[in-house]
Amino acid sequence: MKPTIDLPIAFFDSGLGGLSVLREAVRIMPQEDYIYFGDSKNAPYGTKTVEEIRDLSLAHAAHLCSKGIKALVVACNTATSAAIASLRETYTDIPVIGIEPALKPAVRIGSHPSVIVMATPLTVRGKKLHELLGRYAQDADVTMLGCPGLMEYVEDGELDSPAVRKYLKELLSPALEKKTDAIVLGCTHYPFLKKTISEIAGPKVRILDGGAGTARQLQRRLTEEGLLKQPGPAGHIEYEESLPEKIPLCKRLMNMPW
């Protein structure tokens, strides 16, 4: 059934990370209503199999579509990598938007740039990232860093604790030994660690993520479909979590300055 303009836009992620994409959408389309679904109970997705993530993603999409939505945003690089094709095949009446690591803007930083991509183990192994590398990064020196265990710090609200700082130092220091132009945050949880990552990498390293680009793509697709609301009073955000006790942290992360 064709969606109507007054319906909300749904976002989902394996947990709280997708809020870093939602906040970009709210920034450019505050008049819209949103439903955010975080699946912290089944997190992390980055160490699961493609089939497991596809099944979870299809279940979340079915649940969100049953509420009546006008677009679906897969606010998770890992779920996009594993499930975007199946989601688009299943839901043909609404725009289904995914997120990709921001490799394209990163490689435009200079000639032969040196770029670190931080992502979940599944995203690092996935076909999608390797296609992106082939398409955009022929002339760049790219180091891929799988970060098992990193999203858990964000899930616990630990954004600059000594433990997360130690994790990030140990992970990044060897890669940062050579001159680095940019770090791509290829998991939607990592923008919440941007300040800590930037302190470790130093002021000359640009830190990029795909949140703003995904929000713009959502806006473009809504416009094409005649589904974008006119600017007006701020809309409503509904939070749903498979671990409901995470909802206060959702609200805290949403309201954090960035």
Interface with ligand DGL, residue 17, by CB under 6 A: yes
The alpha carbon torsion through 198, 204, 210, 215 (nearest 10 deg) reads 100
Q: Does residue 43 bind ligand DGL (CB under 6 A)?
A: yes
95 binds ligand DGL (CB under 6 A): no
> Using omega within 30 degrees of 0 as the cis cutoff, is the peptide bond preceding 203 cis?
no
For position 20 contacting ligand DGL by CB under 6 A, the verdict is no
Q: In this structure, what token pair is assigned to residue 111?
A: 């000639």
The yes-or-no answer on residue 250 being catalytic is: no
Name the token pair of 57. 């993603």
**Has 187 been annotated as catalytic?**
yes
Contact region for ligand DGL (CB under 6 A) — 127-135, 165-173, 184-192, 232-240? 184-192
Among all chains, which residue has been given the structure tokens 């839901």? Answer: 91
How many chain residues interact with ligand DGL (CB under 6 A)? Answer: 16
* Tokens (6 digits) for 113: 């740039």
CA-wise closest residue to 14 among 50, 38, 48: 38
CA distance 104 to 226: 28
Select from 3, 8, 38, 44 the one that contacts ligand DGL (CB under 6 A). 44
Among positions 77, 114, 196, 214, the unique one binding ligand DGL when judged by CB under 6 A: 77
Which residues contribute to the site for ligand DGL (CB under 6 A)? 13-14, 17, 43-46, 76-78, 120, 123, 151, 187-189
Q: Which residues are catalytic?
A: 76, 187
